[in-house]
Amino acid sequence: MAKAISRFVCQSCGNVTTKWAGRCEACGEWNCIQEEKPLSRGPAGKSLGQARGRAVQLSDLSSKEAPPPRTACKLDELDRVLGGGLVPASAVLVGGDPGIGKSTLLLQAAAAFANAGLKVVYISGEEASAQVRLRAQRLNLADAPVKLATETNLRDILTTLDKERPDLAIVDSIQTMWADNVDSAPGSVSQVRAAAHELTTFAKRTGSAVIMVGHVTKDGQLAGPRVVEHMVDTVLYFEGERGHQFRILRSVKNRFGPADEIGVFEMTGGGLAEVSNPSALFLAERGEPSPGSVVFAGIEGTRPVLVEFQALVAPSPHSQPRRSVVGWDGGRLAMILAVLESRVGIPFAGLDVYLNVAGGMRVGEPAADLAVAAALLSAREDAALPRETVVFGEISLSGALRPVGQTENRLKEAAKLGFSTAILPSGGKAQGGPSVKLTQMADLTGFVGEVFGAG
């Protein structure tokens, strides 16, 4: 038998090489490459799990069978992100920064699903049983019918789950699990891949749903190999700023529902509270109209959300002006500044530009281009937009304004919160109605001339 060749794997990005190096050629990180032995079958009787699956002919499957029923809990925001509820035999991966509230969210979810009639097992590899019970008491969940286990050995966990056969198993976290047939440390690429594969296989084989918690890197991406995200059915990110009480559960992959759906929570002393109207919450602290403040009507998944863009433009004492962005794409900000200078003739040279999305929200859709341009021009010209005005639209490199989707939903949400005027691109299917007056623009030059009287 040929001898297995050792390989060296970067613990940051998962790049595989045949020799050790101090610096990873793929991601540039230092001291992150470790030697790992390749996965093998192992000795007889050492394979994880029970029995292998059997082949099933496609013709034997009944087309009349109904899809597996979803189980909804009382956490409506979580049900929304999952696509309507928890699907049997599904594997869900939840990632987020340390201390953001992942364990709190999943403990509340475990209690909610248990109260909905599911048999739930919560497995913690990071905390002792007494610590988990202490959190449950703080959240007033001590009487929830949830079975608790603290273990990191994957073989023991799978044996217990095979015996219990729960409807839902929560594993916190996947980085602490270790398989004894893989010769590497817990948290390494091989261990994370093996643990995720075995837990996902268990979910598909038994019909139990499995929720796994994953750590994130300093870049905000899920730690471990990218293949883990391909194994599971749903990938959720739990986001939020430490200085804000808002927490956002965002779906980036979902085989059973819409992707890019969000659920909004508020961190309180008694745990995470649902926010049924996030637009009102994000705009609650908005005061009188001020230069650089613009309200954007956006869409997150299937939900319209109104958020406030805040811009500050100030003379720069340095030869290289600063461009600082929080909650939006920095590359897209550079594009908007270039279009304003090239197509409209408004320079930002020698000016520091700061852009922030209020409330700790992150916006990624191109429909925010016009709102960002309006905030920048408002801050530069020291001219505030009217308080009851919302702005949305995409800006092309030619300076033209392009219509965006779901215009009606954006306008309905704006009207619900008392906004009376909307500035948007022309050419789209928009009907403002009696409560919202529409101001449609064809290009950025016309927008600047109409709103700020120049350009």
Is there a binding annotation on residue 96?
Answer: yes
Of 411, 384, 219, 201, nearest in space to 287 by CA: 384
**The predicted structure's pLDDT at residue 343:** 93
Q: CA-to-CA distance for 229 and 227, rounded, in angstroms?
A: 5
pLDDT at 77: 92
Between the two ends of the chain, the Cα-to-Cα distance in Å is 76
Q: Which long-range contacts (CB under 8 A, 24 or more apart) does 349-352 make?
A: 349/321, 350/315, 350/316, 350/321, 351/313, 351/314, 351/315, 351/316, 351/321, 351/380, 352/312, 352/313, 352/314, 352/315, 352/316, 352/321, 352/322, 352/323, 352/324
* Count of helices and strands (H, E) across the chain: 11, 21
pLDDT in the model for residue 67: 56
Please give the Cα distance from 214 to 236 (Å, whole number).
10
Q: How far apart are CA 340 and CA 356, in angstroms?
A: 19
Q: Is 103 annotated as a binding residue?
A: yes
Residue 180, marked binder:
no
Q: What whole-number distance in Å separates Cα of residue 292 and Cα of residue 362?
A: 18
Contacting residues for 256 by C-beta, under 8 A, at least 6 apart = 70, 82, 83, 84, 87, 90, 233, 234
Taken in order 182, 188, 189, 191, the sign of the CA dihedral is: positive
Tokens of 150: 């603290």
Q: What share of the chain is helix, strand, coil (3-state, %, to 5)?
A: 30, 25, 45
Cα-based distances in Å from 250 to 72, 79, 105: 18, 12, 13
pLDDT given at position 223: 65
The per-residue pLDDT for 42 is: 45
Say whether 97 counts as a known binding-site residue.
yes
- Count of positions (residues) in the chain: 455
d(CA 449, CA 455): 5
Q: Is residue 299 annotated as involved in ligand binding?
A: no
Q: What is the pLDDT along the chain (455 residues), one digit of tens a residue?
A: 445 566 788 877 778 888 888 898 888 888 888 877 654 444 444 445 544 444 444 444 444 555 568 899 888 999 999 998 999 999 999 998 888 889 999 999 999 999 999 999 999 998 888 899 999 999 999 889 999 999 999 999 999 999 999 999 999 889 899 998 888 888 888 888 899 999 999 999 999 999 999 888 766 677 666 788 889 999 999 988 766 788 889 999 999 988 888 899 988 888 899 988 888 877 876 777 889 999 999 998 888 999 999 999 999 988 899 999 999 999 999 999 999 999 999 999 999 999 999 877 889 899 999 999 999 999 999 999 988 999 999 999 999 999 998 899 999 999 988 899 999 999 877 666 667 899 999 999 999 988 887 54
Q: What is the pLDDT of residues 254-268, one digit of tens each?
A: 999 888 888 999 888
